[in-house]
Amino acid sequence: MANGSTPQINRSGETPGPKRLFHSVREIALIKDKTVDPGYGVLLAGTVMGVATVSGNLVPYVPTGLAAYGENCVAPALADIPSGTTMSIPLDAMNRFVVGENLIIVHNNAGTQVLHDGGAIVSVVKATDYSATITFTTTTGDTDSTVAAFASAFVETDPSTPFTKALYILDKDTDTGKGEDAKGANVSVVISNAILYTTSLIHFDAAAVTDMGAVADGQHTILK
């Protein structure tokens, strides 16, 4: 035993189970099978999803104003991004960026979100045991996209600003994998005819409500 051989009882902390997603009956909801691009790790039921403009596969929706580490909808820059067309990201995230997809770079400037459309991804290559390098088409034109400013990147799901659009809600937890061998996942998503618990929705901001034509009703969100 880790604490010695003397008789003892070691109690671990208890954590709550998964939140309920459906308030209405799941079987009457409009649900469809989809494919999620690889490299996002575990995505929980209730995660808001968009559609990559090139691959047509699902990727996590990026809430308006979000440009911070710790969120699996964006990949953080590992180094300051020069005025050019390259970016260093964690190796775990490399497979979510596919050649031909449009790369969006985002950073915080005194609390304001700044977006840059990097255009089509030219290449994604492993650089070290922990990092990969993305080469994209359109130069950033500035040196403000820094680690200190939480510079991050995501795949475009809408051609107009803010380059992200909410369309679906993940129905169940799924693992898309991480790193250079990540393969993605087959999932099911909620489209409409459902009443969901708002607190179970992940990254469901005001813009997502508008995108999906949803209705906020107390503790519930109604997908018509």
Mean pLDDT computed over every residue of the chain: 90
Shortest CA distance to 55 belongs to which of 99, 10, 92, 91?
Answer: 99
Q: What average pLDDT score do residues 128-152 get? A: 90
pLDDT at position 2 is 60
* Residues forming beta bridges with residue 220, ordered by sequence position: 197, 217
List of E strands, the chain: 30-36, 42-43, 48-51, 58-60, 75-76, 86-90, 102-109, 112-126, 131-136, 152-155, 168-170, 174-175, 185-192, 194-197, 215-217, 220-223
Per-residue pLDDT tens for 161-187?
Answer: 999 999 999 999 999 999 888 999 999
pLDDT band at 1 (very low <50, low <70, confident <90, very high): very low
| pLDDT above 50 for 212 | yes
pTM of the full predicted structure?
0.87
Domain limits of the chain? 26-223
pLDDT band at 12 (very low <50, low <70, confident <90, very high): low
Q: What average pLDDT score do residues 3-27 get? A: 75
Per-residue pLDDT tens for 78-116?
Answer: 999 988 899 999 999 999 999 999 999 999 888 888 899
pLDDT at position 15 is 54
Per-residue pLDDT tens for 28-59?
Answer: 999 999 999 999 999 999 999 999 998 899 99
pLDDT band at 13 (very low <50, low <70, confident <90, very high): low
Would you list the DSSP string of 114-152?
EEEEEEEEEEEEE-SSSEEEEEESS---SS---TTTT-E
Percent of the chain whose predicted confidence (pLDDT) is above 90: 71
In degrees, to the nearest 5, what angle opens at C-alpha 190 toward C-alphas 188 and 192? 150
Between 25-39, 55-69, 109-123, 133-147, the lowest mean confidence (pLDDT) is in 55-69
Q: What average pLDDT score do residues 134-142 get? A: 88
Contact criterion met (CB below 8 Å) for 205 and 63:
yes
Percent of the chain whose predicted confidence (pLDDT) is above 70: 92
